[in-house]
Amino acid sequence: MNLLAKSHYRWGQNADVVVRMPCGAGVGAGPFHSQTNEAWFTHTPGLKVVYPAFPYDAKGLLASSIEDPNPVMYFEHKALYRNIRQDVPTDYYTVPLGKASVLKEGKDVSIITYGAGVHWALETLKSENINADLIDLRTLMPLDTETIFQSVKKTGKAIILQEDSLFGGIASDISAFIMENCFQYLDAPVRRVASLETPIPFAPTLESIYLSKRKFKNALRELLLY
């Protein structure tokens, strides 16, 4: 993929390759098939990384990925298969790469996430009286920093939720971007919420302890009280 990622840049030739990447925990696949390793690929120039959370976006982003002249790593969370339902047009359409979706608008905090994390955040907001911007990134590379910065400048607080473990994850770079570009607007440190630094266990009870989902609600409350 590293060589393919540079083909369009070097020779102007299309590298029409889309690699679909089933991933994610919550399906009892243990340490073998549960990892979310999207951050491995965001560091390769020319390689695009897509991670939808909804069926409508999944179809539109897949079409855009196929049309793109650069290779695309297209992540699909296995726990969302046959679980998240949505009306999807039968006609051909595309969703642009590099454009995030703002699912909820509020003034208290910016929640930035993708994949299964979007649904974890929606679940939390249903049970909490929190006025939040909820940003579904949809594409990790290219990253829609404009939407992120606009939201953080409005709310003054940012929390980034990822299923991946913390060190070296995409949340670290998003946090750095926010600190470098929105520092004067922040009312609190940027908060990252991620899973444990360990292989993913088989047992459902241990898997639930591993996942960042269990920590998100408390982290969000702590940030709002800062």
Omega of the bond prior to 142 within 30 degrees of 0, cis? Answer: yes
CA dist., res. 121 & res. 128, Å (int): 10
Packing angle of the helix pair 116-127, 213-225 (nearest 10 deg): 50
* CA 14 to each of CA 7, 70, 93, 223: distance values in angstroms, whole numbers, following the listed order: 7, 6, 21, 45
CA dist., res. 200 & res. 156, Å (int): 34
Which residue of the set 8, 33, 43, 77 is catalytic? 33
User: Distance between terminal CA atoms of the chain?
Assistant: 43
Token pair 């390759």 in the structure block, residue: 17
Q: Tell me which H or E stretch contains 117.
A: helix 116-127
Q: Is 33 among the residues known to form the active site? A: yes
Amino acid, res. 130: I
Which residues are the active-site residues? 33
